[in-house]
Amino acid sequence: MIRVTHLMIIRTLSPPFPTVCESIMISAIEQIGRVTLRTSSSVGSTLSFAARVFLRMFERRSYNSASRMVLINQIYFTSVQILPLFLFVAVIFGAMVNGMVFQLIKKIGQTDYLGRLLMGFVVMEISPFVTVLLIALRSSSAINAEIAVMKVNRELSTLEIFNIDLIDYLFVPRVLNGILSMVFLSSLFSLVVLSIGLFVSSVIFGTSVDAYIDTLLRSASLLDMIIVWFKCAAFGFFITLIPIILGMNASQELTSIPVAVLNGMVKVFSAIIIIEVLSSIVRFI
């Protein structure tokens, strides 16, 4: 008799099965809502910060002597120091891509497509992509760690105490360096790959220099070149801005530095993919 009563109580206390399902569903939907709100708020704050930095790039006071020195140092570390490695990669890559392209063209007999392949694929897609990967791997991670360390060491607050604007002194030079380095290095990469193509075509496949240049010129369009520079600039802007934002998000603890770098690099990679897709859509339209 006692046992039966106990079971009845248990039955009364435990919620019916549909109620449990409902609560699981509601919490799942709440979770989706939370994630959506968090993501959109994060994207929104990133874009609003990006807009602030972008606008500040056009203000004269952002280019004082201190900021110019930072800019020069940044270009040196991002573009000049990496140059030997970068050119080596460009030569190796150029030889490889050109070999493949020429073999393919020869095999399918579509010589008219040579220019399109080299200009549309190598110059428009591959050069910016390889360049952005190299810069992101080397400089974005460095910027992320540098800003996070400055935050942990209270160096950012030092700058604020001395009335030094962080955007002017730290962010604008780095972002501008990202844009310039991307445009310059990507252009160099394209020029190196096309020069290797000239070599491959004339020495290995016996095409005349004029014919090769003519093929490229037929496929070259200034509009495409402008699009690819915009794309490079967008890459450069975001692969430096995102590490800055994530570096700023570090706390006062040393352990927050690797976390900031890790998150920053993941977001940098996402930004690269998003820009790549957007630029393809723009070109397609």
Partner 1 sequence: MQKIELKVGLFVTITLLLIMASIGYVAYKKDMFSKVYTYTLSSKTGENLTEGMPVVFWGFNIGRVSSLELIDQGVLIQIKIPERHNRVIRSNSKFVLDKPLFGASRIVVETDNLNAPPLSPKTVSEISVSNDINEMIKRALPIVDKADRIMANVEQVTEKLADPGGDVNRILKNTETVTANLADPKGDVNRILKNAEALTARFAKKESVLEMAVGNTESVKSVHEALANVRDITVRIDKILAKADSITGKTGEEIYGPDGVLPLVRDILRDLVAKLTKIDTTLDNINKVSAEAVDSTKDLKVLRSELDAAITAIGNLAEELNRKIPFKAKPEIKLP
Partner 2 sequence: MRFFESEEELQEKLRDFITAHKSRLGLVSLEAPLISNLPVWSNIALIRQYHQNMSWHEAKITIDRLLHRMGMDSIAEKRNPSLTKEERFYAMLLRAAMVRDAVVVLDKPFSILTNLRDGHFLMHILHKVDDLIAEAHIFDYSWAKERYGVTADAED
What track of x and - describes contact with partner 1 for positions 162 through 191 (by CB under 8 A)? ------------------x---x--xx--x
Of these partners, partner 2, partner 1, none, which one is at the site of residue 36 (CB under 5 to 8 Å by kind)? none
Binding residue (CB under 8 A) for partner 1 from 10, 222, 273, 281: 222
Shortest Cβ 37–partner 2 spacing (Å): 35
Q: How far apart are CA 182 and CA 127, in angstroms?
A: 10
Upper half-sphere CA count for residue 278 (Cβ side, 13 Å): 12
Shortest Cβ 120–partner 2 spacing (Å): 42
Nearby residues of 156 by Cβ (< 8 Å), 6 or more positions away:
147, 150, 166, 170, 248
As given in the structure block, the two tokens for residue 141 are 């991670």
Q: How far apart are CA 258 and CA 217, in angstroms?
A: 47
Site membership for partner 1, residue 69 (CB under 8 A): yes
Site membership for partner 1, residue 112 (CB under 8 A): yes
Binding residue (CB under 8 A) for partner 1 from 54, 63, 113, 121: 113
Of these partners, partner 1, partner 2, none, which one is at the site of residue 184 (CB under 5 to 8 Å by kind)? partner 1
Crossing angle of helices 127-135 and 222-248, in 10° steps, is 20
* Closer of 12 and 163 to partner 2 (Cβ): 163
Q: How far apart are CA 239 and CA 271, in angstroms?
A: 7
Shortest Cβ 90–partner 1 spacing (Å): 13
Q: How far apart are CA 55 and CA 140, in angstroms?
A: 21
Please give the span between the terminal C-alpha atoms of the chain, in angstroms, as a whole number.
78
Site membership for partner 1, residue 88 (CB under 8 A): no
Site membership for partner 1, residue 79 (CB under 8 A): yes
Q: How far apart are CA 128 and CA 147, in angstroms?
A: 26
Angle at 58 between CA 77 and CA 269, to 5 degrees: 50
Of these partners, partner 1, partner 2, none, which one is at the site of residue 109 (CB under 5 to 8 Å by kind)? partner 1
Candidates 47-55, 66-74, 91-99, 124-132; binding stretch for partner 1 (CB under 8 A): 66-74
Site membership for partner 1, residue 43 (CB under 8 A): no
DSSP per residue, 169-219: IIIHHHHHHHHHHHHHHHHHHHHHHHHHHHHIIIIIS---HHHHHHHHHHH
Provide the greatest CA pair distance for the chain. 104
Site membership for partner 1, residue 206 (CB under 8 A): no
Of these partners, partner 1, partner 2, none, which one is at the site of residue 64 (CB under 5 to 8 Å by kind)? partner 2
Which residues are at the interface with partner 2 (CB under 8 A)? 64-67, 69, 146, 149-150, 153-155, 157-159, 161-164, 168-169
**Which residues sit at the interface with partner 1, rule CB under 8 A?**
69, 72-73, 75-76, 79-80, 83, 108-113, 116, 180, 184, 187-188, 191, 217, 220, 222, 225
